[in-house]
Chain A
Amino acid sequence: MSIGLVRALRTPCPTYNAIRSLRAFSANPLSLEKALPPRPKILETDLVEAFLRGSGPGGQKINKTSCAVQLKHLPTGIVVKCQETRSRELNRKFARQILAEKLDVLEKGDESRSAIKGERARVKKASASKKAKRKYRKLDEEKGGVEQDGAESQEEGHGTGPAAVDGVPARSAETSPDGGGVEGPT
């Protein structure tokens, strides 16, 4: 099937340009795989949003740099906080993404978008490390010395970004400053 697709792309046709622009996206082989489930959506009516600005006068008298956004999902009671960027609007977007991911995991478990994504990344990494191992073993064999390399099975770090979820404070304390798991706005 994929061969047919490639052939169809090679033959010039009226919509060639459109397809070519499509191909620019399909440079990533992952996208030829089964599409990820859609990004989960949250109803705005289920959310309570708070901007944590602390007490004090506000306005010209004070200059705050924090623009943390806290979201509470009413049906589940999950609370998510985001202070990743200096822009409150971006933090609002990120907080919604983090919350949506958490709800998705809660609801679908292994079938959720982030779990599938993580699994794909894990498989990819495992195959890469397997290939690397094979290569170096071969090199070593050619040299003559057959040594066993230490098994390198790193658990894939699946950061949750800067979100602090109630009940899981340990994780939020560990998050890297670059906010690993947070996806940019699309």
Chain B
Amino acid sequence: MRLRPSLFWQARALDSHLPLLLPVCRDLQSARNELRWLSQHVDDKCRTESREIHHNLLSNYVRRRAGGEPLQYILGSEWFGDLKLYCRPGVLIPRPETAASTSYLVHRLSNGILKNLLPRNLRVLDLCTGSGCIPLLFHHEFYSSPDHRMSTLELIGMDLSNTAIRLAEDNVINQLRLQQHPSSNGEERLKSLRGLRVLRADVMETSPYSASVTEVLRQHRGLKETPTCDIIISNPPYISAKAFRTTTARSVRHFEPRLALVPHNSRHTDSEHDGDAFYPRLLAIANELEAKAMLAEVADMEQALRVAALAVKERCWEGIEIWRDDPATGRVDTTDVGKMSVRVLGDGHGRSVFLYRRLGAAPLAD
């Protein structure tokens, strides 16, 4: 949609930087918000410098933002739930929908079927962890609930990209620094955060030499046999090559890493559903590790239904749910996928697929 010229005049009357921000922000209010955050960042960054240096730095930031660079890369941070995490180019910026699903997952642990299904002491694996946002928020939400104060929680994040692993480790160190107050935090909380590891692994096992998730986990735990895990979470690349070209925002396309957005698969490039490549692998890993529950983010309702259909075919998942952008609103619909009835929770677009195993049932051998 074309922006009215009068809007630019209106913006210029408020601040000379605003007209530059308008085309990327699309409306005056967001442009004003972003300018305010940028200028706060300049103030925080150089308190003692002169006015001129402040102004030059702000102009520089505004120009970068006007060129489409994500605000989070310029500011170097993004909020994810209650946590402020570092952001750097080369690593996907955490999205608020992912935070909503993660928080809702932790909320669900305390009651209903999951409480009986899962052990008190949890082992959680996050695949394609990126900035480490999911394990960190899981940790925060888990220990915020009084039910879990005395539980132990083992968190492991895995990623293919070394840039992402470094960033995730920095985020863990930063959270350790922030959460080190001995007063309010339990011992288990701190122990769990100290034990949070980010390891390099290749979910897709693109080459025979790449480190598989199971193997990396086995070595990390120092086991001989196949390791196990309770919950697998993943926000894998899920955009198809075509959707990347057409429906993905320009700023995402040009500035965020393609590795985190589009599955790399050489076998069937540009087939209609090439965005789904990770899900069969995730389901296979969940079976290998005998995970009791799995949460995987998806692009939209269509993809959610396709992933649910894959899970139905596995025949080992007792419950299959699709969560929308905001799963905690209380709205529940049901839809049929194959022979199973799938609950669809919350409001917004289809955002993730949640699976849990039958209580007490042995995992399928084959």
Contact = CB atoms under 8 A, between A and B. Distances in A.
B249 A63 contact: yes
Interface string B229-266: 00000010111000100011101100010001100000
Interface of B: 25, 29-30, 32-37, 39, 70-72, 75, 78-79, 81-82, 84, 92-93, 95-97, 235, 237-239, 243, 247-249, 251-252, 256, 260-261, 297-300, 325-326, 348-349, 351
Interface stretch (A35-43, A83-91, A98-106, A140-148): A83-91
Contacts of A62: 248-249, 252
Interface of A: 51, 53, 57-67, 83, 85-90, 177-178
A171 to B, nearest CB: 15
Contacts of B249: 61-63
Contacts of A88: 79, 96
Given A51-B326, A67-B96, A86-B78, A59 B299 contact: yes
Contacts of B349: 57-59
A66 B32 CA distance: 11
A21 to B, nearest CB: 14
Contacts of A90: 79
Contact of B82 (A51, A89, A177): A89
A159 B349 CA distance: 37
A86 B239 contact: no
Most buried by B among A51, A59, A62, A89: A59
Nearest to B29: A83
B30 A63 contact: no
Contacts of B252: 60-63
B34 A65 contact: yes
A159 to B, nearest CB: 14
B72 A87 contact: no
User: 8 smallest A-B Cβ distances: which pairs?
Assistant: A87-B79, A177-B36, A62-B249, A61-B248, A65-B71, A89-B82, A63-B252, A63-B70
Given A58-B351, A65-B34, A86 B299 contact: no
Given A65-B30, A65-B34, A86-B79, A60 B348 contact: no
B348 A63 contact: no
17 contacts: A58-B97, A58-B325, A58-B351, A60-B237, A60-B261, A60-B299, A63-B249, A63-B251, A63-B256, A65-B33, A65-B34, A67-B79, A86-B37, A87-B84, A90-B79, A177-B32, A177-B36
Contact of A57 (B34, B71, B82, B300): B300
B299 A61 contact: yes
Contacts of A51: 326
A87 B96 CA distance: 10
Contacts of A83: 29, 33
Given A57-B299, A58-B348, A58-B349, A66 B30 contact: yes
A89 B256 contact: no
A106 to B, nearest CB: 26
Given A60-B235, A65-B37, 13 more contacts: A58-B325, A58-B351, A59-B97, A60-B92, A60-B252, A61-B249, A63-B93, A63-B249, A64-B96, A65-B72, A89-B81, A177-B36, A177-B39
